[in-house]
């Protein structure tokens, strides 16, 4: 009879990887509170374009990000259909200073800013349209 230790180790590793994948998929793309401190603000100078009159959707992307093109289309569509909302895409590889400041850990990372540039919501991963629309409503509420 052979030693089942290798089979047990493989089963445990497979189970742990499955749980990790399910948790990450469930949490990925969810827009949540602004993140590290409510004081995080981005200026038009940091973004390279003027902030939206009501809100700004900031997307951090990389060239190899599979979900970034879909996220770009989603955010651009929401911005185009909502007066006063602007979409800004930032190349994370070219703007490491901003990536570190904002604490971007994966792409796409989406930030929803209010008119003053304060981060009101953020998502790591591709958000849903409903979440983006809801976050824009929160950012534009006076």
pLDDT tens for 65-115 read: 999 999 999 999 999 999 999 999 999 999 999 999 999 999 999 999 999
Quick one: pLDDT band at residue 2, thresholds 50, 70, 90?
A: confident
Is residue 14 over pLDDT 90?
no
Positive or negative, the CA dihedral 63, 65, 69, 72 is negative
Would you state the pLDDT for residue 33? 62
Q: Which two tokens stand for residue 71?
A: 């996220």
**Banded pLDDT at 3 (limits 50, 70, 90):** confident
Residue 7 — very low, low, confident or very high, per pLDDT cuts 50/70/90? confident
Residue 26 has pLDDT above 90, yes or no: no
- Predicted TM-score (pTM) above 0.85: no
pLDDT at 17: 82
For residue 1, the model assigns a pLDDT of 56
Q: Which of 51, 106, 57, 114 is nearest to 80 (CA)?
A: 57
Phi, psi of 61 (to 5 degrees): -130, 165
* Predicted pLDDT at 38: 55
């Amino acid at each position: 009879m052979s030693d089942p230790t290798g089979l047990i180790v493989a089963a445990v590793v497979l189970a742990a990887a499955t749980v990790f994948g399910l948790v990450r998929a469930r949490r990925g793309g969810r827009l949540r509170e602004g993140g590290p401190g409510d004081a995080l603000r981005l200026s038009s100078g940091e973004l390279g374009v003027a902030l939206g009159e009501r809100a700004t959707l900031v997307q951090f992307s990389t060239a190899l990000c599979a979900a970034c093109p879909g996220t770009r289309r989603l955010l651009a569509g929401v911005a185009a259909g909502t007066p006063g909302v602007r979409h800004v895409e930032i190349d994370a590889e070219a703007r490491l200073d901003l990536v570190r400041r904002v604490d971007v850990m994966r792409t796409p990372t989406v930030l929803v800013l209010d008119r003053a540039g304060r981060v009101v919501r953020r998502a790591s991963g591709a958000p849903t349209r409903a979440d983006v629309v809801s976050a824009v409503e929160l950012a534009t509420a006076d």
